[in-house]
Amino acid sequence: MSQADFEFEGVSCGYGDTVVVRGLSGRVGPGEVLAVLGRNGVGKSTLLKALAGFLPLGEGQVQWQGQRLDTLPAHRRCQAGMVYSPQENVVFGDLSVQANLWLHHPAGRPDSRYDALFELFPRLRERLAQTAGSLSGGERKLLAFVRTLGMQAGLCLLDEPTEGVQPENIERMAAVIRERTAAGQRFLIVEQNLSFLEQVADTVLVMDHGQMVLNGRMQDLGRETLEQYLLI
């Protein structure tokens, strides 16, 4: 494994005595997107929580740029250059849109890192003074996406980033991810929107009942094969 890679190996985790994820392994190199796909309830979000440090591992290890992360708390993983956007509770609802974007930056107001994102998503710039909790569900997702990318980390973990987002903004999100990966940024994305994944994903890890059932390059697996794993 290159020290520029993110890798998890043999990861098992869950809640209390209940094991949800069993023996999962994956890797994301510079400029790559790994998509995690599967029906609701198969353990995708649980995997991301464990990788981000919000759930302890039962087994396995997590490495990022040559450093073991599996014993580090979530804030230390963030300091190491790994940021996480969860599926739910994605914003601080009582704070303004502006505060949500800037609270991660010690200076209180970051540099121009959001300028290009505001050009793509002008609705957020128009609503900087509005409380984040008053936004629609899709707008809150968009705010979380912009905030995560504004942190300019080497690795972004995104859980269902397009959920509830308008189609034109999903296209813009895909364009941003392609631009960022071209510059070497890495993404691990839990998602069920295959049209979105076809635009951004390099490799796909398909889960069922907490285990990997398929793994390969997006272009090789094809949409028809992947759709089978989303059917109830």
Q: What is the mean pLDDT of each run of 10 residues along the chain (232 residues)?
A: 79 94 96 96 95 94 91 91 90 92 74 88 93 92 94 94 95 97 97 95 96 95 92 70
DSSP one-letter code for 101: H
Overall pTM surpassing 0.85 (yes/no): yes
Pairing of strands 67-68, 82-85: unpaired
pLDDT of residue 2: 58
> Which residue reads 């705010």 in tokens?
143
DSSP one-letter code for 133: G
pLDDT of residue 186: 97
Q: Judge contact between 158 and 148, C-beta under 8 A.
A: yes
CA geometry: angle 90, 21, 148, nearest 5 deg: 25
Q: Judge contact between 3 and 66, C-beta under 8 A.
A: yes
Domains and CATH numbers, the chain: 6-90+157-227 (3.40.50.300)
pLDDT of residue 107: 67
Give kind and range of the element (H or E) at residue 19. Answer: strand 18-28
The 10s digit of each residue's pLDDT in 37-89 is 999 999 999 999 999 999 999 999 999 988 899 889 999 999 899 999 998 88
Q: What tokens were used for 167?
A: 């189609």
pLDDT of residue 110: 63
- Cα separations in angstroms, 201 against 11, 42, 205: 22, 20, 10
Least Cα distance to 210 among 58, 40, 33, 44 occurs for 44
